[in-house]
Amino acid sequence: MRSATVAFAAVTLASFSPQAALPSPTTAVWQLGPVPIRAYALCIILGIVLACWITERRLRQRGVAPGAVLDIAVWAVPTGIIGARIYHVITSPEKYFGAGGEPLKAFAIWEGGLGIWGAVAGGAVGAWIAARQLGIPFAVVADALAPGLPLAQAVGRFGNWFNNELYGGRTTLPWGLEIHKMDPADPGRAQRDPAGQPVLEPGLYHPTFLYEALWNVGVAALVFALDRRFKLGKGRAFALYVMGYTAGRFWIELMRTDEANEILGVRLNVWTAALVFLGALIYFLRVRGPREYLIPVGVPATPVPPAGGDVSQVDLSRTENGPRAVAPEGYRTVSEEQFQAYRETGEVPDEPAAETTTETDDEPSADHEPPADDEAAPADDEAAPVGDDDVPERDDRAGAAGARPADRDS
């Protein structure tokens, strides 16, 4: 009986002990000849590719010509990296400008140090520049990017896993994370003991990189679902992403134990998450409007797309001499009904009536109603002589009033 009691107690205690642990890589940098291949950089690049793929598909669904996301990425990616580095340097100036700091190290982005807040802000500036060049409303670009960006962040967080960094406090949970002591003399590799085994930090730690990655996947699913259900427009899908991300970053940031600057005893990034969340919430509640759809301007007539296809399957550049790349001069914003009709028929809808030329009493249009009986035109023998030059002039005015093309939307 006593042996059975001891065995039961052992099983009970074992059930509350961690049965397993999440391992961490011992190498974060590989040498390809003289070129270092960094896992962190690979994760960032893979995330960018994923975000671009999703954004491209969503832009096409809204009427943007294929390939526009590459033109946007050319601007957004470099400015995003610059913004991320600037935020990191500003919020951690002592590493570069304090006592013993090295100012030139502020440019050494390969040694780590990118802030997501600066990346989003800098990338938004680059995307705005590209959108203006392409004639695409910036809100359309932002909403198309909204679900892809958190997925890119989720992939990028695995770079922190390779680097054995940005983890939380100690834990006894089964998913506790092993952390290696990284070798400062051999960056990107774990320290080794005399027997050649990698050295681990004592205990297990909260895998905050994994918490944030999973949270970001949930944010992407939320944006996908609500955007599909409510057809968000005017940048509200992007605001929804910002609210979702910052809500998760708030509590995850409180779990982290890495060094960080603080305000009133609270990590700086916690304050940033709270303020950005409030700004996005205000925008989401105050801004209203339907989802924007676009029709290209300045391209040859669009043929009728195949059944079940979308505008991305239409060759906008086909001419008599064969396909030739033709970039739209810009885009017109139309309603969903007009866009669906355009997809089905290939016919460009008329410009809004408000943009047509108005008529005046002095310049009657070609379809001007005849005068009433009490204002009848004078008889032939009483009519004023009409010169040959007068008729074309009147016709030109009528054509100008009745057939003048409306200004194009940008």
User: Which pLDDT band holds residue 318 (cuts at 50, 70, 90)?
Assistant: very low
Q: State the pLDDT at residue 325.
A: 53
Measured distance CA(41)–CA(47) in Å, rounded: 10
Q: Tell me: the pLDDT tens digits for 134-182?
A: 999 999 999 999 999 999 999 999 999 999 999 999 999 999 999 999 9
pTM of the model: 0.77
Q: Tell me: the pLDDT tens digits for 252-309?
A: 999 999 988 999 999 999 999 999 999 999 999 999 999 999 999 877 644 544 444 4
Q: State the pLDDT at residue 353.
A: 54
Q: Residues 397-402: what's their mean pLDDT?
A: 39
Domain ranges of the chain: 29-64+136-286, 293-403
Measured distance CA(299)–CA(302) in Å, rounded: 8
- Binding-site residues, in ranges, read 157
Is residue 372 left, alpha or beta, with left meaning phi > 0 and alpha meaning psi from -120 to 50? beta
Q: Residues 197-203: what's their mean pLDDT?
A: 96
Q: State the pLDDT at residue 381.
A: 46
**Number of residues assigned to the chain:** 410
Measured distance CA(138)–CA(147) in Å, rounded: 16
Q: State the pLDDT at residue 320.
A: 43
Q: State the pLDDT at residue 64.
A: 96
Q: Tell me: the pLDDT tens digits for 234-249?
A: 999 999 999 999 999 9
pLDDT of residue 4 exceeding 50? no
Q: Residues 15-20: what's their mean pLDDT?
A: 49
Q: State the pLDDT at residue 221.
A: 98
Q: Tell me: the pLDDT tens digits for 331-388?
A: 999 999 999 999 999 888 877 654 444 444 444 444 445 554 444 444 444 444 444 4
Q: State the pLDDT at residue 276.
A: 97
Closest alpha carbon to 177 in 215, 199, 203, 216: 203
Measured distance CA(316)–CA(319) in Å, rounded: 9
Q: State the pLDDT at residue 347.
A: 86
Asked whether the beta carbons of 148 and 50 are under 8 A apart, the reply is yes
Q: Tell me: the pLDDT tens digits for 187-198?
A: 899 999 999 999
Asked whether the beta carbons of 183 and 205 are under 8 A apart, the reply is no
Mean pLDDT, the chain, integer: 82
Measured distance CA(133)–CA(82) in Å, rounded: 21
Closest alpha carbon to 253 in 116, 365, 121: 116
Q: Tell me: the pLDDT tens digits for 67-103?
A: 999 999 999 999 999 999 999 998 888 888 877 778 8
Measured distance CA(160)–CA(343) in Å, rounded: 45
Q: State the pLDDT at residue 300.
A: 61
